[in-house]
Structure 1
Amino acid sequence: MLNNQLQLKKLITLFIIIGFSALASSQVYNVKDYGAIGNATALDTKAIQEAIDTAFKAGGGQVLLPPGTYKVGGVELKDNINLHISAGATLLGSELQSDYIEWDSKAESRTTIYANKFVVYANGAKNISISGQGVIHGNGDNYFQITAPQINRPFLIQLVNCKNVRIRDIQMLESANWTCHLLFCENVVVDGITLKNSTRANRDGLDIDGCNNVIVTNSIVHSQDDAIVLKSSGNKVCKNIKISNCIVTTEASAIKLGTESSGGYQNITISDCTIKDVPLLSGLSIMSVDGAILDNLQISNIQMENVATPIFLRLGNRNRPYKTGEYVPTIATVSNISFNNITAINAKYPSIMAGLHSKKISDITINNFSVSYIDPFEGPFVEPNKIPFNDMVYPSALIFGRNLPTYAFYVRNIENISMSNISISSKATQKVHPFLFDYIDNLKLKNITADTFKKDGSIAYLRNINGLTASEFHLKNGHINTFTIEKDNCSDIHIENTSKGSVINEIPALKDEQLYATVMATTIFDIDGIIKNKPIESINKFEVEGALKDEPLPYHNLKSPLKIQFKIEGEPQSTPQLCFLVKNKNSLSSEKNNYLILEYEGVEQKVNVEWNRWGWASLTLSKKIPVGSKIKFKLAQEHSDLLISKVYLRYLNLGYTD
């Protein structure tokens, strides 16, 4: 840990030297010298902007806000400007929409749909900083309570395509929308800030979006919505991010990657953070659901307290494009994730790690993980074979409901996962196993201690396991069964060195029942932030009739083209997406032959079906289709072994933020 802290300090120092040397001997521009009043009533936008512009023309400098409350409708930072808000000073966002300047960043990002008003804004600026012991206040606690349309509510800060950015010591309070949005920025240090929002509805804390080389440290973030969020809302990868020594509280997700994940994530480090009081969702929420890569995530030395779900890790298949006229032709890849030294006290629900039936998450390591439960996980519990895949629903810790048949870990569709030095305890009597593993290739378990309560209690329930190496198990309540195993669907199982032998409870395999639901669901947040499940707007669907003996599902071979007609019935602002239940009987064939090709209205779109198990592919229509139109679709791939069983039409709201 000491070496990591020294490395972090060196990086911060380097950023400061490189990025802010231009400000070392800069002149001070007091906003009161330019006519600012600072009485919380007069609009000081023009005066503060004049001070910034004057400093910029002179080559840079410090724009100083002395004690007072300066109401603005948005100010724009420019090259080599340090906005210094002194102790006793508040930069206050106006309560009137009409006072705000509207900016169009022209960024290739979904966020342009719902963001054009900001208290502080910069676009393409270099060597900029916001500092001081003062406050930037968004007036969102008393105003801007009408949540939709979201674009009517100002962000507190948005910095777009900026390089060499430093935000230090400042307080950010009560934003009317996202609080601090860093979009496509490079070389950023956020150090010692305090961020607090007490109102719900899209009021994230710190959003790091498609950025490169960002350090966030020594900060306190309290938000009713997601607190510290890594996004990739355009086609740029969010990479080389370090988050450390932060205290985070929220009613949503505390530290989150996703859900807007078009560009992907690489080389992310999260360490030495405290997460507490997260009653609804998850402490660590990690996902890629829009077709992009998530690779090399290292999480260590995290303490959680009163967190509903400690860890939520998800590979999903929503495949929502970041702008209209585009579509996502691939499924995301999630790999190389490590959790080390994680402690959770008073958790409520099991951690969830779930890939897709058609594509697994790969290479997960969990070492030194301790979690305790104070309340019983009540149920009623769904059977292990009846847990739906929910591939395309909104990803959150509630994705499978609150009745999973495990109280500590639900792990499904992962290849190469190692768990060691794991301690699971509960003060309350639990009715289910601590662990449930399903559809796992190469599972390694070592030194696992857990409370089990049922008479035939096992540490883990295993089904669809291909390769298990397990040793050093300790059941704390006098039970002797180490595992409950569905014997007909598990293979290559090796168990040794348990505290009371290695007794296995073998049971017959259960047939999966709800993997491909006839009517999919989409999950949304209502304006109070409570998650609800709603059926999709359209039940437009095509299902092949009649089954063949060699497949569990009826199918059509796409060597013979399939023609379907659907009626477009969604709202005018929604975008149709076709969802296909498909598999490739020969996924080792050339990539060219793996594409499912969709043709309609003179348009051709295609998706790479590289999997040999039944799974969903989805294509958002790139051509705008008028509501009420009946469209004929053709599906084909004459040189492949693609099989198709179902086609559904659903609708995406591309204007809705995650």
Structure 2
Amino acid sequence: MINKESSDHLSRRAWIGRVTVPALTVAGAAMISARVPGAESKSSTFSVVDYGAKGDGKTLDTLAIQAAIDACSLAKGGTVLIPTGDFLSGTLQLKSDVTLHLSAGGRLLGSPRRADYTAGKGVPSGNGNIVFLYAVNVARLSIEGKGTIDGNGLAFYNGKGDNTGPGQNGVDGNFDRPHLFIFHQCTELRLHDVFLQASAYHGIRLLQCKQVYIDGVRIYSRVNKNNDGFHFFSCQYVHIANCDVQCQDDACALFGSNQFVTITNCSFSTRWSIFRFGGGESQNIAISNCLIYDTYGCPIKISAGRASIENFSFSNIIMKNVTGPIGIGFSGKSNNGNLNTNQPATKPYIRNVSFNGIRASVIAQPVPHPDIHFDLNYKEGEKNSCITLNGMDDHYLENISFTDVHVKYAGGGTAAQADKRDVPKVAAEYFGVWDTTPGGPPAYGLYARNVKGLTLQNVRFEFEGDDARPAIVFDNVQDAAINGLSVQGSMNAESLLRVMNSKDLLFTAIRVLTPCQALLSLEGASNDGIAIDGGDLRKAKKQVIYRDGAQQKTLKLRV
């Protein structure tokens, strides 16, 4: 039975715990110390030590902490205080009108024992399995403070991930380990300042939540596989700012129908990807002023089968030491390759995606993170990577724009890569397209297939050393305007640009930065309405090469 203090006089330890709330004045402390735990006041503070929690890092404090949360909720709201100490716990259920406050010296530590965790009550099957902290159908829930929530995730490492990647379907996956947080159908959810670390699985999973505000949160989670940072599914009105995320898997995954999302002023690093999107009706998302470093598997990745994705904006983003760096794949089909009859009958699409103010340095291949203790399974297609826009069959990416984008690549592309014209139709992961292509993509800067309405304005592609590939390959691109393109050439590459079976393309003010064999290789009998108007082309030894039935009448060249 929990020993709950019932007198008006607090123990010295409890009193010290209560006054560790930041910005608490002496007068305020006196007012709080006079309250009885459970008093009917929204300003009440419920210290977990008053409900029997020991905070010694050894005693399991689950029941005591849950009792404080329950009392706070019963009192129509208040603050549950985690004071200085290490509070060991299993699964905890958070409730409406509760503020969970972690003092600067307070740590909520996940139990290393599987038996101390349960699934979240009311969390849909397949999304929750087991969990450390969760909330379902709650409102006005806050988690704040300078303290730490530690998932103790290394205790659950067994060498396996969940095997939910492309083609794996979760077979023989490791699901029996706790997520750090799961929030399902919550509104007015706030997370401020806390430090989250060492999750056994995903960090923060938000399912069908609305009005979510995350500010100043730091995540450091690299002890287990599938250590996602934020993982959203069909949420609305989500705002993330001033966060620092170092994780092992997707830093900020947005699946399903996420809408009205902003992410700004954050820094990210991970093995796999930063902003990952897929499925549903994901619309109206703005990401700005972010720093991305030491990230592989593509920092910005939109991998969609049958989805309705539109109105995405990525602006003022710096990438340092990445592979990718941007990949959009669209098949118009379900993950198993067949049309998904459970989806709406309307034709799926990806459209209205803009990239503005991007500066990136792309390395030749992923580099192991020294603080990740297991093998990271690098893919062949991650080597010599480029920006990939990959539509399939009769499905197109529409209205994609790049403005003020400067990327420097590692170079090293080979003639074997450059000669690859018949690119596999794989849209699930950008590197999946290039796993079957010798060493990577046939372009060092941008590969675009099945794109309608493509704009490049003040785009600059360079590389270190040498590269035998063209800077840009357009395959079945329609309605494109390229203005102020500056590209580095190579005498070992057949051409600087390659256009295949495309129509209605206008190139203006091209700058050839270094000597190259030819400006353009025009390939295929289906090209039509290609125009090159002006620019500095002096360093191109030859202007145009015609191949595979391409005709001179389809090109208008004025220099």
TM-score over 0.5 (shorter chain): yes
Instruction: State which of 397, 406, 428 in structure 2 corresponds to 1:361.
Output: 397
Question: What is the aligned partner in structure 2 of residue 100 from structure 1?
Answer: 117
1:481 and 2:498 correspond? no
Question: What is the aligned partner in structure 2 of residue 266 from structure 1?
Answer: 283
1:84 and 2:101 correspond? yes
1:400 and 2:434 correspond? yes
Instruction: State which of 242, 257, 266 in structure 2 corresponds to 1:246.
Output: 266
Q: What is the CA–CA distance in structure 1 between the aligned matches of 2:207 and 2:235, rounded to whole Å?
A: 6
After superposition, residues 227-246 of structure 1 pair within 5 angstroms as 227-232=251-256, 237-246=257-266
Q: What is the CA–CA distance in structure 1 between the aligned matches of 2:275 and 2:529, rounded to whole Å?
A: 37
Q: 1:414 to 1:24 in 2, by over 3 A?
A: farther
After superposition, residues 295-374 of structure 1 pair within 5 angstroms as 295-320=310-335, 327-328=342-343, 332-348=348-364, 349-374=385-410
Is contact 1:385–1:510 with CA below 8 Å preserved after alignment?
no
Q: What is the CA–CA distance in structure 2 between the aligned matches of 1:197 and 1:456, rounded to whole Å?
A: 43
Q: Percent identity of the aligned residues? A: 27
Instruction: State which of 283, 286, 294 in structure 1 corresponds to 2:309.
Output: 294
Q: Deviations over 1:61-117 (max 9, x none)?
A: 00000011111111111110000111111111111111112224354xxxx325221
Is contact 2:73–2:95 with CA below 8 Å preserved after alignment?
yes
Q: Deviations over 1:433-488 (max 9, x none)?
A: 01011011111111111111126653310001111111111111133732111152
Q: Secondary structure at the match of 2:276?
A: strand
Q: What is the CA–CA distance in structure 2 between the aligned matches of 1:379 and 1:268, rounded to whole Å?
A: 39
Instruction: State which of 29, 46, 49 in structure 2 corresponds to 1:29.
Output: 46
AA matched with 1:478: P
Is contact 1:155–1:176 with CA below 8 Å preserved after alignment?
yes
Question: What is the aligned partner in structure 2 of residue 386 from structure 1?
Answer: 422
Instruction: State which of 478, 485, 507 in structure 1 corresponds to 2:546.
Output: 507
Q: 1:276 to 1:24 in 2, by over 3 A?
A: farther
Q: Deviations over 1:551-593 (max 9, x none)?
A: xxxxxxxxxxxxxxxxxxxxxxxxxxxxxxxxxxxxxxxxxxx
Q: Which one is further off, 355-364 or 114-123?
A: 114-123
Q: Deviations over 1:138-164 (max 9, x none)?
A: 111233435354331100001110000
TM-score w.r.t. the length of structure 1 is 0.68
Q: Secondary structure at the match of 2:46?
A: strand
| Higher RCO structure (Cα 8 Å, ≥6 apart) | 1
Higher strand share: 1
Give the drift of 1:382: 6.1
Q: What is the CA–CA distance in structure 2 between the aligned matches of 1:144 and 1:429, rounded to whole Å?
A: 42
TM-score w.r.t. the length of structure 2 is 0.80
Is contact 2:186–2:209 with CA below 8 Å preserved after alignment?
yes
Is contact 1:224–1:250 with CA below 8 Å preserved after alignment?
yes
Instruction: State which of 213, 217, 221 in structure 2 corresponds to 1:189.
Output: 213
1:220 and 2:254 correspond? no
Q: What is the CA–CA distance in structure 1 between the aligned matches of 2:83 and 2:269, rounded to whole Å?
A: 31
Q: What is the CA–CA distance in structure 2 between the aligned matches of 1:326 and 1:36, rounded to whole Å?
A: 52
Is contact 1:252–1:282 with CA below 8 Å preserved after alignment?
yes
Q: What is the CA–CA distance in structure 2 between the aligned matches of 1:142 and 1:102, rounded to whole Å?
A: 18
Q: 1:357 to 1:384 in 2, by over 3 A?
A: farther
- 5+ residue gaps, structure 1: 1-22, 512-658
1:211 and 2:213 correspond? no
Give the drift of 1:316: 2.6
- 5+ residue gaps, structure 2: 1-39, 161-171, 365-384, 551-559
Q: Secondary structure at the match of 2:63?
A: helix
AA matched with 2:402: I
1:130 and 2:143 correspond? yes
Give the drift of 1:380: 3.3
1:63 and 2:80 correspond? yes
Q: What is the CA–CA distance in structure 2 between the aligned matches of 1:375 and 1:442, rounded to whole Å?
A: 29
Question: What is the aligned partner in structure 2 of residue 414 from structure 1?
Answer: 451
Q: What is the CA–CA distance in structure 2 between the aligned matches of 1:48 and 1:125, rounded to whole Å?
A: 18
Q: Which one is further off, 398-407 or 37-46?
A: 398-407
Q: 1:78 to 1:351 in 2, by over 3 A?
A: same
Is contact 1:249–1:277 with CA below 8 Å preserved after alignment?
yes
Q: Secondary structure at the match of 2:495?
A: coil
Q: Give the count of matched residue pairs.
A: 471
AA matched with 2:177: R
Question: What is the aligned partner in structure 2 of residue 430 from structure 1?
Answer: 467
